[in-house]
Structure 1
Amino acid sequence: MKLYKLLPILALLINTFALAQESEELRSTYGTSAVQARSYSSNHENAVKKSLPRFSNRVLKRKLEGIQKKYPNGLTSLKVKNLNMLQKVFKVPRIELRPGQSYFEAKDNTYAYELIPREGKLYFYKNLDGERALPPRQAEAQLAQVKKEHQVLMRELGINPNEVFFQRTNFMMIRSSTKPDENGRSKNKAPLVDAFLTYGLRSLEGLMVEGSYVKLLSKGAGKLETTKIKWPDFKFHPSIKDFNLKDKKSLSEEILREIKNTFKEKERINVKMAVVLRNVEYRKQRVYIPSIRVGVYPSSGEAGNMFYADLLKQAVPFKNEARNDSRGSRENR
């Protein structure tokens, strides 16, 4: 029997701009409108102007000041700080591991894990390869229970439900076919549900927290297989003196210059933007600054470009990692 994975890759590579449009607040105020997000234009200046989020500087400044006031010493996130706590949450046998050991075997199963508390990073895997895929009707009957289990686990790990601005649980499907007959022909069988995937993103006071996500994968009710989380402690950059923001004209000009450096004049492009709390490295610590994330995609289907425009008038020092900027690392001093 030959198996074809239909949905897992799509489910795991969800475009966060598309996810942002699920939030009415982001779509209407802190992100490009849904209509504009589908538009292409050869007039780059006009595309930037129409795609720029319609937030008020005064309101956004007040929102950022409110976050700073609410969390003056930062916000602690994941509760799991060591292996003993991890084993307790996931209800697995207590086993002493050697330094650097990332997997262990118990009488009931084989497990793998990674835990980096300072980055809010947690990975846990339980081998459930023997579990069979479910018929869609049977999976539908278990969906509500799986959602509930995932929500309970997120709370146990320290993820505040108020910080989850987008969360969705989908089926991951597989399709099988019969063995080829004597003429080499095979028949497709009905698709089956291979797993349940919950994917979530993070926000504070309606602003997306860049780089934070949760992925939970279960084979069925009571059968959690994979947990992958990045939910770091939150703290604004310590050098921020105030939240005075650049005016919209300056922002548009800055974004347009970057587009002109990357795309040909009159090339038809699609531009999507969102206000985010962007994670950067400062003195070997993960801190956040308010920025606009910009995605630019040519109509030709060729690779696009993603970059950030910082919102603060004040320049703060940080190291920008390559994974946060498609143009690579740079030092901003």
Structure 2
Amino acid sequence: MVSSNKLDEKKMKKSIRAFKTLRIILKVVVYTFLILWAIVVLFPFYFMVITSFKDFATYAYTSTEIYITYPTFDNYISAWVDVDMIGYLMNTLVFALVTTSIMLVVSILAAFAFARLEFRGKNLVFTLFLAMMMIPNELVIITNFVTITNSGLTNSYTGLILPSVLSVFYIYLLRQNFMQVPDSLYYAAKVDGLSDMNYLIKVLIPLSKPTIITIIILKLIECWNSYVWPRLITSEVEGQKSYFLVSNAIEAMRNSGFGKSNMPAMMSAVVIVSIPLLLLFAIFRNQIMSGVVRTGTKG
């Protein structure tokens, strides 16, 4: 009986060791795959950065090398001085901040109306809102272009901003977040004499802070990377203020002498444009993840 128990104990220990060994092997395989995938994803950005520190003569002979022997900052100086990068960055900053602010106000009010207020046809209107997400973006751009052009708003901040202040997806995201707040909290606030607007400002918005921060960051990134719409309604007019954004500016650089023949200088401009977004994500990455998790979890 004793020997039988010892035999069972040995088998159990072997099974435990085999299980631990299998877990270690699986972890090694998974982390190896993740490291290789990270290298594949990050390599283009790494190559862009090292190319930006090469002078034109070096790049002509060592364009495929993945290391730098003699780095130079001349390309970054050219991007700031020769291309007026500051002007393009300021245009993009104004466009991104104003558009995000207006969009946030519109989305919060619309989401609150769909989540808490009762009015005739609410479900029908919300269904139509969701159906708008099925419309191809090209059709919306054509309609917006005709409207903005006929209104004489081309080459202006107003023309850039107006078509971007409504986002059905963000309204839907906030509505789902507002609906997670218990109804009892809303009724208790009404009993205490809070108006709907005060309830929104003092209760819903603080509780939905992670999601709101996520929306702000995603919208800022969307505005910063916007290309098609600004390209349609902005143009370089001599003697007038340029409303080109950084995406338009990079395209103009690529087609000009600055970037067409001098790839390191072009890469330096791209690095400058990418840095604000990388910093934004690095600073607020925890809020982004918590906002997404909170929105996707019921209760």
Do the structures match in fold with TM over 0.5?
no
TM-score (structure 1 length as normaliser)? 0.22
The structure whose RCO (Cα within 8 Å, separation 6+) is larger is 2
Hey, which of these two has a bigger chunk of helix by percent? 2
TM-score (structure 2 length as normaliser)? 0.24
Specify the structure having the higher radius of gyration (Cα). Answer: 2
